[in-house]
Homo-oligomer: A and B are copies of this chain.
Amino acid sequence: MILEARERIKPYIHHTPVLSSNLINDQLGAELFFKCENFQKVGAFKSRGAVNAVFSLSDEECKNGVCTHSSGNHAQALARAAMIRGIKAYIVMPETAPSVKVAAVKQYGGEITFCKPTLEARESTLAKIIEATNATEIHPYNDIRIISGQATAAMEFFEEIEDADILMAPVGGGGLLSGTAMATHYFSPDTKVIAAEPERADDAYRSFKSKTFIPSEDPHTIADGLLTSLGSITFPIICNFVDDILTVKEESIIKAMKLIWERMKIIIEPSSAVPLAALLENKIDIKGKRIGIIISGGNIDLNKLPWIK
């Protein structure tokens, strides 16, 4: 499915670069390779899964359009994929979604319905939309077509960087992480997969350690892409194919984000900084190792930066 996803999405997504920084490598005593999905279409890896899902549908399945609930990047990605296929996209977004993400969904022709920023409100609002339109739901992460699409980022990474000791990704709902873990299992089985998550949204960490699904409850983190709970598909994949999950403090996320902005001159969103934050906190021994990090996206409201009060 990953190989099929790759061919299916190729015409509509970017092959993103892998970048390094000598200054960051010197600081950490390791070789870091950043797979820059902030340069992906709509500014996030979510384009991969959304395009794969939308183009996997039959004409019959997508004639009434697609719909989803999303705090941001999946919303844009689905609206864009639907626009390319020439179908409608109905998007449920929390009222708290960054204005830049709302504007982008509109730009791709998505029809937005706002709701309270809770999972319950998102799901009930979406149910009403499905009843009214008969659109096909494309879940942001708990969908094997989405996971296969996200997996193509890690697949591309391994084609470019050989002998990586570790590949890291942030974890929210687990779409990127489970895709990364599956791609690593098939294409670079000697590489360990380590996820990172904010302490203040540590449901995946606690679920992984206890091997029991624990939902995300009232998370408060600057990493606004990582607020959601794992899903019934992503959770077992993560339990079976991820080596570890690390948690990080909010101030480390901000520090890691600013370090990447300053040293690499690239714009990443807070969620993308979470794996590097774990390395800055010395959560694992990385001396002399080759470490990949999937930079998940670069969509941030430039009027509100976390280090400017």
**Residues of A participating in the B interface, judged by any CB pair closer than 8 Å:** 17, 38-39, 43, 100, 258, 261-262, 265-268, 298, 302-303, 305, 307-308
Contact = CB atoms under 8 A, between A and B. Distances in A.
Contacts of A303: 307-308
B307 A302 contact: yes
18 contacts: A17-B17, A38-B265, A39-B265, A43-B265, A100-B262, A258-B302, A261-B302, A262-B302, A265-B266, A265-B267, A265-B268, A266-B266, A267-B267, A302-B305, A302-B307, A303-B308, A305-B308, A308-B308
Contacts of A17: 17
6 smallest CB-CB distances across A and B, nearest first, come from: A265-B298, A265-B267, A38-B265, A308-B308, A266-B266, A261-B302
B267 A261 contact: yes
Copies of this protein, total: 2
Nearest to A23: B107
A265 B298 CA distance: 6
Nearest to A17: B17
A244 to B, nearest CB: 29
A308 B301 CA distance: 11
A305 B267 CA distance: 14
Given A261-B267, A265-B266, 6 more contacts: A39-B265, A265-B268, A265-B298, A266-B266, A267-B267, A305-B308
Nearest to A298: B265
Nearest to A37: B265
A17 B267 CA distance: 16
A307 B38 CA distance: 22
Most-contacted residue by chain B among A100, A265, A303, A307 (CB, 10 A): A265
A258 B261 CA distance: 15
Nearest to A19: B39
Contacts of A100: 262
A100 B308 CA distance: 15
Contacts of A305: 302, 305, 308
A104 to B, nearest CB: 10
